[in-house]
Amino acid sequence: MDSNRQTLGFLFKTCQIDLGPGPIFDLPPGPMPAALDWARVEGMMLGLAAGDSLGCTTESQLPRERRGRYGEIRDYLPNPHAGGRPVGLPSDDTQLAFWTLEQMIADQGFNPDHVAARFCRDEIFGIGSAVREFVRNYESGIRPWYRCGGKSAGNGALMRIAPMLIPHLRSGTPELWVDTALSAMITHNDSASISACLSFVQMLWKLLQMQAPPEPDWWLETYVEAVRDLEVDDTYRPRGGDSADYQGTLWRYVEGRVSEAYRRGLSVLEACDSWYSGAFLLETVPSVLYILMRHGNDLEEAIVRAVNDTKDNDTIAAIAGAAAGALHGKAAIPRRWIDNLAGRTAESDDGAIFGLLRGARGLWWPEG
């Protein structure tokens, strides 16, 4: 069986991955310090789950319509899938992230074919079009796994990518980047998507080690620095908004739009309205980065702004929540969000995500 690095090398050589072979694949992030508090990793994963659950009951509603109906959302809304109780239930963001972690625990590492199969085993709540295409291809018998994901610049890989760093906490080798690229490619074989996933995992790795929030510019600069050498597609176009005539790479669009919005002092709602805030990465990535630039020093406010001020609010809140959780740790997540989070990855497996986090710690960051 080929190693993941051999597989990635083959995909680059045969031009089957929509990505440039940037220098990141040979740069070790370095092992996490022994003093790393596991609560930072829990914060990352529970921030993702809480953001998803806070947003998924009003996903895809326009922010002003949502506010007119519910006011400002700061807690879980009554959920029809829980008998109308105000509890946090998952959508595909939480499911796919924790199924990835579940499969990596079973394999004691990342096996892309096994993760691909895991994604096809159970019902996916609120499944996106790109993931639906992947599932259809995989279940129809298309093999190998890397031929099943279509070219899509949707946010369905970025929303689930956070757990990829967990098996690498001790080793800190460049295999982290190899595994991340292959994981992203399972469902989204797209230049913008894979590069964004690599950048986000690199951000998370750095955030876990920070003792204080970074300066606002750090978020945008870190993103751009990572993806500049990776994106190979310069044909992306926004679906509308203030820069409808743009054509080029995702990173250049993000750099220009986010820096300009921050210079003008726009609110999150104003900025996200200007480029829309849907599931397309030209909307999701600037929204996440802008929220973190404005509110990354306050986990609750970052997630609340994502939930209230964006259209694809569950996914944007999940991504921003993972970043803020890695920076601030589990203790910064409001207790009411944790206590009322069902912790499901399926219809009735209450508490599953908490068990998976315990299993991951025992395998990759044991106490003592």
The pLDDT of residue 1: 57
The pLDDT of residue 40: 98
Q: Give me the residues of the chain with pLDDT under 70, please.
A: 1, 368
Number of domains in the chain: 1
Written as one letter, the residue type at 89 is L
Distances (CA, A) of 168 to 2, 48, 114, 205: 19, 19, 18, 10
Does some domain include residue 304? yes
CA 298/CA 287 separation, integer angstroms: 16
Does some domain include residue 25? no
The pLDDT of residue 368: 57
Run of H or E including 28: none
Does some domain include residue 14? no
The pLDDT of residue 243: 85
CATH of the domain at 156: 1.10.4080.10
The pLDDT of residue 241: 78
Does some domain include residue 244? yes
What does the H/E/C string look like for 113-147?
Answer: HHHHHHHCCCCCCCCCHHHHHHHHHHHCCCCCHHH
CA 284/CA 316 separation, integer angstroms: 6
Run of H or E including 368: none
CA 235/CA 291 separation, integer angstroms: 26
Does some domain include residue 168? yes
Whether pTM > 0.85 for this model: the answer is yes
Does some domain include residue 31? no
**Residue 59: domain span:** 37-363
CB atoms < 10 A from the CB of 90, how many? 29
The pLDDT of residue 65: 96
Does some domain include residue 8? no
CA 304/CA 124 separation, integer angstroms: 25
Does some domain include residue 135? yes
